[in-house]
Amino acid sequence: MLGIGERHVQIHDRPCPWCGGILMFHQVLDGSPFVICQTGRGCTAPGERDPRGRAWWNGRLLGALAGALDARERDAG
């Protein structure tokens, strides 16, 4: 355990690359970190959904999210 406790943090400067919604980073005790798009069912991101219909990424999927975020910044720049 890293000893950092639980964290729930908005990723302020990087919106969801699919819908522009707010991304939230979550680290829970004894769990893997994950990111959730707060838009909900309206987000067009491919992949996994939580029970509330929000797009989410954890483990290996975080790499795919990071790649999509980088691509969006390259296209916008």
CB 64 within 8 A of CB 17: no
Amino acid, res. 18:
W
Q: What is the pLDDT of residue 47?
A: 85
Q: What is the pLDDT of residue 2?
A: 55
Amino acid, res. 1:
M
- Domain boundaries, given as residue ranges, for the chain: 7-76
Type and span of the H or E element at 69: helix 61-76
- The dihedral formed by the CA atoms of 65, 71, 23 and 3, expressed in degrees to the nearest 10: 50
Q: What is the pLDDT of residue 1?
A: 46
What are the 10-residue block averages of pLDDT along the chain, 77 residues in total? 74 94 91 93 93 92 92 84
